[in-house]
Amino acid sequence: MTAIAGSVYTAAQFNTFVRDNLNETLPGLATVANNYFVVTSTHHLAERRVYQDIITVQNGFDSTSYDDPDLAGAAGEAIVTGPSVTCFTGTTALVVVGGRIGGGKTATQSAKMSWEVTGDSSITASDEWAAGPVGFGETDQTTFAYTSRAFLCETLTEGINTFTAKYAVSSTPGLASARSLLVMPF
C-alpha cells in the first residue's frame, strides 16, 4: 500500500500494512526473555536460547578413548553420565565444556573432557575440542585444575541434536566434578 495525503485507511489496511509489519521486527518476534535471534537464511530469523547442564558429583574414568565416566568418585558417589543437552540447532553451535578435572600420579598424565553429538548429527568426541590438564608435575599426588574449552562447531546437521560430555585419560584413572556443558545454537 502506498500512502496518499488525505486518504483514509480502513482498519484492515492499517492492520495489514502497519501493525503486521511492526510485528515482524525483532521486538515483535521475541517471545521469551533472554533468547536471541539468528539469521537462518536471507530475510529469515529464528529465535534461539542457550542450554546448559551441570553435574556436581565427582566421577572417575579410566578409558584411553572417549567414553562415559565408569568409576565412582572419591566419596563413593553414584556414577552419573553427561552432562548432556538436547536442543534444536542450525548448522552451527558454540559448545563449552569444563569442570574440575584431574587425577593421575604421573608427570605426563592427561585427563580430558570432550563432547559428542548424536541425533540429526553424528560427531564423535575429539581432543580437538577437549578441555583438561596435561602433565600434572607431581608424581606422588592427585592434582586437579578448573578448566574449560569453547569450540565453534560448524558441521552440524540442522535439527534436534544431543550434545553429551565424554571423558578420556592417557594412563591412570582421571576424576571430574563440577562438570558443565553449555550449547549456544545458531
Catalogue all structural domains in the chain, each as residue range(s) with its CATH number: 11-44 (no CATH), 50-185 (2.60.120.760)
Check pLDDT > 70 for residue 142: no
Per-state percent for the chain, helix, strand, coil, to nearest 5:
10, 45, 45
Task: Confirm whether pTM is higher than 0.85.
Answer: no
Question: Taking residues 19-26, what's their average pLDDT?
Answer: 73
Give dist(CA 85, CA 163) in Å, integer: 5
Check pLDDT > 80 for residue 131: yes
Check pLDDT > 90 for residue 184: yes
Phi, psi for residue 25 in degrees, rounded to 5: -80, 165
Give dist(CA 81, CA 166) in Å, integer: 8
Phi, psi for residue 128 in degrees, rounded to 5: -60, -30
Question: Taking residues 127-137, what's their average pLDDT?
Answer: 83
Question: Taking residues 63-80, what's their average pLDDT?
Answer: 87
Give dist(CA 70, CA 59) in Å, integer: 7
Q: Which of residues 77 and 50 earns the better pLDDT score? A: 50
Check pLDDT > 90 for residue 172: no
Q: How many CB atoms lie within 10 A of CB 134?
A: 14
Q: Which of residues 143 and 79 earns the better pLDDT score? A: 79
Alpha carbon 40 to its chain centroid, in Å, reads 19
Check pLDDT > 90 for residue 2: no
Please report where in the chains the cell 580437538 appears, as a residue: 128
Please report where in the chains the cell 521486527 appears, as a residue: 25
